[in-house]
Each structure stands twice: as structure tokens, then as C-alpha cells.
Structure 1
């Protein structure tokens, strides 16, 4: 039996259970089936215990003796979601946690109350009287979401119950919550890699002839195929997939409106209106922004695809497009090499853009932390509209043991199209401590260095053209590029 490319792809994109993998990534990624919900809860709770054990050290690092986190049901603190058990779906009654930077290993370093009576405050004050913290961090920063989760009503209750003595010791220390959320336990790395592999596998399948029929399939069709695939695998996502066709008009970043996902736009009546997307044709360069969520972790990936004309192979991808992708890879290397622990995001951005310009690379850098949240706690290295530095969030130092999303675009002139195109790319990396020099960043799974390809056999060319004409589509770009 003659195997088609689609058949080979289907055979290789198999679902497998988790096993240890080397750092290098395979040519075709794998789907990973998640464990049972019970197993997932056990895995996540072990990670949370590992993270919570580091809280005393975080408090000492930032010069506070205690950290008070308090919330009511459906009015949870932002950091609550990184502190809770996997079996908790919300806070109950009043859920209050006190963490202490204790030097005594025989004394508890944390306390939790779930109560809706004055007894909670009595016991909290009793602990404070016994432990005598000189400063108590609360999450009330006015600018940073991860450090401002204490609701106004809850703060009012705390101020009413603690008494003047302890109220005077409340302080805002934004880096406490930021560092707790940003710091990823080493034991998470293997499963984060598997999530990345699964996201890559979905993109690889989506940007193939298994999903795309040139002249028929729209970008919205591919977006919804990805949503369905996520659900089939029992994963979720933190944003709707965004699939676009890259041409000289795509990714115009001169206005905020142009940065909205193509799938939805706000009409004048403020109702969300779904678009049908653009029809995918031969010779199109495709772009996807995509992430999966599972086990309390999120991924974020932007890849590029190319729709081959009937009978073409990878060697027929226009050289200008290949060079644009390589230029994007070089920009990724520059960002990764300049991510030095302790530098602020704004310092890293300045160094990165300076090196890019020195090497003749024009583009934008807008990289961000990832992990517990898609856009997670930590410093920002640029934003799409802020290439001279990001106020406040860009002034946070880069922390160790983080996951980070290297997100950027480069501009490259493509001779075959006589146009300058933008090449958006995004890959997740993780920080690994090492001897000597101090640290290194590794790709969480890998990075795209070749286009995802949509193949069409020559035998299908005539039927594809007939379907194309019957549906009234005009091929943008015509013949050879």
C-alpha cells in the first residue's frame, strides 16, 4: 500500500504515555495523554508543597518576617491559585494564610484558617503575638496584578480586626508574591516539556493537509479545529487560537486595534462578532499563536507554516521566507543570550535591541514570563507598543528558576514577493542553574527552524483547481513566488 504524507503524519503523531526524553527534540512531536484526574491532583500537590517550602527563604530575601494572604469565596487573591490544593476550586468562607520566615526548624512556618467567625482573627492575633514579626507583607501593590490581589473589602476587614499594633507592621513587598509565582519547581520540567510537545503536535497537524485544503479551508476553520483538538485531548487553553495569513499587510503594529486577534473584533455596539477568517491558498505563509493548559501550567507558541503548490516539496519554499525564519531564529538566540539573572527587563530589552540593530535585524521584542499563567509573574522584556522600555513591570529583575516565553517578530524583505514581511515567532524556555558562570536557559521543548508544510499531491491538483473555481476563490499570489 502506498503511504501518503498524511498517512505518515498520522502514524507518527501518536498518543503515548509520559516517558523521559532527551533535551533534543524529535523531528515530529508527540501527543501526550494526561494522567487520570486523581493522579494529576497528586502531581500538582507535590509541586505545590515543593514551592511552599521555599516561602521562608523568599521572605528572608526580601526582608520581611511574615506574609498574610486572605480572601473570601469568589474574591480570591491572585496568588491563591498558586498556593491552593489541586482539589480546591475556590476559597471557602474566609480562607486566611500566614507564612513566616522562621529560623527555628521546630516551629511551624505557615498557618491556614478556613472560618467565618471571629475565632479566626483571635487565633491569627495569638500567633502574631507569639511570633512577633517586625513586618508583615500584604498584596496591595497599586501597579502589579500578582502583588495586588488583596481585595479592598478584605483589607478593610484586616484593618478593623488586627489592631493598631499589627496594622503598623503591614507593608507592601511586591517581589514576595512575584517570586513565589515565578519560581518553578524543578520537578515540573518533565511535564512542561510534554505539554510543549503536545502543543507542537497540534500545530504540526493543524498546519498539514490533514486539516487544510487550499481554496476551501479558512483560518477560522483551523482555529476551531485546534480548539476541538484541545478538548479531545482533555487539555484546555488560556486564549482562543489565532491563525493568520502573513502578507505585507499582516502584523501592522502601528495601532492597538491591529493587535487584536483576527477571530474576534469589537463592533460599534460593543458586541463580539466572530469573523469567518480568510481562505487559505497555495503559496500562503501561515502564522499561529497557540497555547495549551494542563496540570496548572500554560504554554505559548507562535509558529509559521507554508502551503506548497501541488507536487512541491520543502525545497520549493521561497528562499526569502526561509531566510526570514532564520533571521527570527537569530533574534531568538540574541534574546536568550542576553537574559542575565538580576538584570531588569528594560536593561535586557536595551541590550537585545542594540545587538539586533548592530547585526542588521529589524523587529520588535515583547517577551514575557509564563507558567502558572499565560502572561505570568515577573519582568517584561518589551511590549508590542513599548520598545523603549516598559514602566514598572520592565523594572523588575529577572529571577532564577523561571519559565519564559521568547516572543518577538523580525522584518525581512522577501525578493520573491517584492515585499517586506513580518515573521512572528514564540517559544518557551526554562531557566536551569548550573556551575561556574551561574545559569543557562533551555528551550522547554525546542524551537521552530523549518516551516510546517501543507502538501498537495500532483494527482490532486486538477480536482483542487476545480473546487477552487467552483467556490469562486481567486488564488492570491498566483503561480510561482
Structure 2
């Protein structure tokens, strides 16, 4: 299971030092190749990203060197769009990777500095000077009511920035569209890495959903969740959320929750033959994360696989995935893609909930949301965003199917794969689960 970046002979996960080299190279390429077009699309002439140690903007880690695990004191990044591309400048006490230095501590020549040129007043004076020289019409800052990932500028820093800019503060606008574009758009090399990481996620889940780990009559759902967590963390690809394991079994019907019926078997219940187990997990590496689900059946004595009703449910789920992937068309909004997917599924008699989302830097990433698990009417704001090529999505949904072998009980089968959106449509990443797994007794 190899990672194509940077060396096809290396396996996942890469050592931390090599990961840092890859991430820093990606950042240079993103600043050169992606950011100018994204700023033009958003109508932003100059982008200010402000972060303070202990209170980082969610965007800041995507712009800092990989060896910076957090901000250091006050960091102000100035990204100016000009005819030559984007000029990245850092107003920081410490050098910031490939950003040009916009301030030198101790330089008391900064206009407006009243602390000897060595403190934050001098930093803000330098920010004012750089912005004034750039003379932008629209200055983007990370303030947003609709996208949490684009709302990283704290109230205190916003006040300090406004005071420092003076009359230029009237040019401040929300950088929400720019932030979303920056976070959702992946380089080809990043897509290749996510493909390899998805394969590795599948491998870990296959190890856990196997007789070596899952022992009916002994293992609980909580045991499986912690085993996934420990394996990922121990291999240097820690999970970005605690893995979730749900169990469905005959005689334990779904329970209503927020208008949706969900599995009711408790986490501390010992798994039994005849159970359907679904594991939801995602790992992190190279500044990227994955998000996948895998399902397995525990056969009863005398069974060599899932009963026909569960196989039909699985086929329905796979078909729902195909129809949802076909609805992911560049230029559509998330809500339009949701409506198209649901209409196509209804035409084939499939009952499903779609709740897909971008994935990349963040697991529930910036970009168009395609439904919520508890609301299929469309998502105001985030669902109105347009789908763009080079975005990776977690294609997540659930189908509801009655199982004759379970006395006509309703099953809610959740599935999740990753796809990359191209100009030609959605293409699968990783190793998609083609059939319901079986975990025989050890």
C-alpha cells in the first residue's frame, strides 16, 4: 500500500520529517498555482490571516510551515494579489517559511510604534504600512456567520486590526468565499495522497472487523472503537474523531432520534452472531484526513454469509451511492445535488438519507454540504455553495430497508466512501467496499 507522494516506494505513513517536506512543497505550489485564481474568484485583493498562540484561526495551519505546530505569539499573514501572482508577507516575531518578512523586531522606524519597535504595537503599525502600500480595494478577513472554518478572526484581534488600519478599515470584507475555496481545493498530489490514505483506512478497518479482533460473545462495540483508535494512533496516523461503531440486530428495532430512526444496541453490549456492525473512522496524515465507513455481518451457526435480506440492503446502499455520485456535477449547488440524488433514488424506490460533505484538511470540510442526516430539505447557506472540481467528498448516506429474515424489521444501513470531483464527474478514491463483509467465528 504505497503513497505516490513523494516517493512511490515508501509506505503509509511517512516519517514526520518527510511529511513536513511534502507539506511545505504543497504549500509553495498552492500559493503559486491555486491562490491567485481563488482570490480573483472571490474578488479579494488582499487577504489578512491573523492568529495568536493558543487561539489559532482554523486557516492558519494551512499557511504555516509544517514544523510550526501552532502560532507563535502574534502572527499576521498578508497575501497580496498583484499582476505577478500573490505576494506572501508575514508580520511575525519569527520567520515564517516562504513568507517574506514584513517586520523586524526592534525596528523602531515603524510608523505609529510607541513601544520601541519591539512589541505588538509595532507589528500592527507594520501591517498598516504594508496594506497602505498595496492599496487594495477589498481586504478579506476571516469573519463569517455561515462558515465556522472561515470565522477564525477573534473579536479582540478584529478590534486591534481595525484600529491599526484606521481609514483603511472601511475596505474590510468577509473572506468566507476565499477561505472555502482555499480549504476545499486539492492539488493533484493531495488527491493522490488522500487516495493512499483512504486505502490505509480501509486496511485498518479490515484488520479490526476480522476474527483476530472481533469475537462474538466477548467483544463489544466500544472495544472495536478503541481498537481502531489505538491502531491508528500507534501507527502515526491518529484519528481526527473517536471512531464510531453501531450495531443492529434482529429484535432490537431502530429508535427515533431527531426525526430519524437510528440503531439502538448500546455500546457496551456484547456482539452476537446475527449482528450487523458498522464502523465509522478517519485518520490524519500529511495535514489531510479521511472519513470512511465499513460494515460486516456476524453469521449465525450454519450460515456462511449474510441472509438475502441484508444482501439486498447492501445492493440498495451501493445503488444509492452510485446515484448520489452521479448527482455531483460541477456548477450545481449542494442543495441541487441533494435534490437530484433524492429524485433519482425515489424513482427507483430507494428510501435513503444523504449527508455528504467535503473532506480534506478537515473531516467536515469547508464547501458545499449535501444534506444533513436529520434534515433532507436542503441546508441554507452551506448547501447553497457551488460544487467545484478538485474537491474531495465523503460520499455519506444511509438506506432504510426491511429485512424479511428479521421479521420485517427495518434496517438503516450507513455507507461512506471518498470521491474526488473532476470536470467529468465524481471518481472513487481508495478501496471501496463492494460487498458486505463477513466475520466468521474465530
Q: Into which bin does the TM-score normalised by the smaller protein fall?
A: 0.7 to 0.9
Residues 236-261 of structure 1: CA distance to partner in whole angstroms, max 9, x if unpaired?
A: 01111111211365664532898799
Task: Decide which moves more: 362-371 or 31-40.
Answer: 31-40
How far off is 1:340 after superposition?
1.1
Counterparts of 2:134 and 2:64, CA distance in 1: 24
CA distance change for structure 1 residues 426 and 253 in 2, over 3 Å: closer, same or farther? farther
Matched, 1:238 2:217: no
Q: Which residue of 1 aligns with 2:183?
A: 181
Q: Which residue of 1 aligns with 2:413?
A: 423
- Equivalent position to 1:325, from 314, 317, 323: 314
- Equivalent position to 2:24, from 21, 38, 45: 45
Counterparts of 2:186 and 2:4, CA distance in 1: 21
> Stretches of 4+ moved more than 6 A in 1?
256-262
TM-score, length basis structure 2: 0.87
How far off is 1:285 after superposition?
1.1
Q: Which residue of 2 aligns with 1:128?
A: 131
Q: Contact between 2:50 and 2:77, CA under 8 Å: does it hold in 1? A: yes
How far off is 1:276 after superposition?
5.6
Residues 344-382 of structure 1: CA distance to partner in whole angstroms, max 9, x if unpaired?
A: 111111111111111100010111111101101101100
CA distance change for structure 1 residues 113 and 260 in 2, over 3 Å: closer, same or farther? farther
| Aligned alpha-carbon RMSD (Å) | 2.2
Q: Contact between 1:289 and 1:302, CA under 8 Å: does it hold in 2? A: yes
- Equivalent position to 1:444, from 423, 429, 433: 429
CA distance change for structure 1 residues 295 and 449 in 2, over 3 Å: closer, same or farther? same
Q: Which runs of 5+ in 2 are unaligned?
A: 94-118
- Equivalent position to 2:299, from 305, 308, 324: 308
Q: Which residue of 2 aligns with 1:118?
A: 121
Q: Contact between 1:45 and 1:86, CA under 8 Å: does it hold in 2? A: yes
- Structure 1 residue matching 2:420: 3-state secondary structure: strand
Q: Which runs of 5+ in 1 are unaligned?
A: 1-15, 21-30, 263-274, 433-437, 458-481
- Structure 2 residue matching 1:423: 3-state secondary structure: strand
Matched, 1:293 2:284: yes
Residues 393-448 of structure 1: CA distance to partner in whole angstroms, max 9, x if unpaired?
A: 1111112211100110001121111222111101111123xxxxx32221111321
Count residues with an aligned counterpart: 410
Counterparts of 1:83 and 1:396, CA distance in 2: 23
Q: Contact between 1:328 and 1:409, CA under 8 Å: does it hold in 2? A: yes
Residues 85-115 of structure 1: CA distance to partner in whole angstroms, max 9, x if unpaired?
A: 110011112100111221135xx61211113
Matched, 1:360 2:349: yes
- Equivalent position to 1:277, from 264, 268, 286: 268
Q: Contact between 1:300 and 1:428, CA under 8 Å: does it hold in 2? A: yes
Match runs of 1:445-460 below 5 Å: 445-456=430-441
Q: Which residue of 2 aligns with 1:267?
A: none
Counterparts of 2:270 and 2:383, CA distance in 1: 39
CA distance change for structure 1 residues 384 and 311 in 2, over 3 Å: closer, same or farther? same
Q: Contact between 2:327 and 2:337, CA under 8 Å: does it hold in 1? A: yes
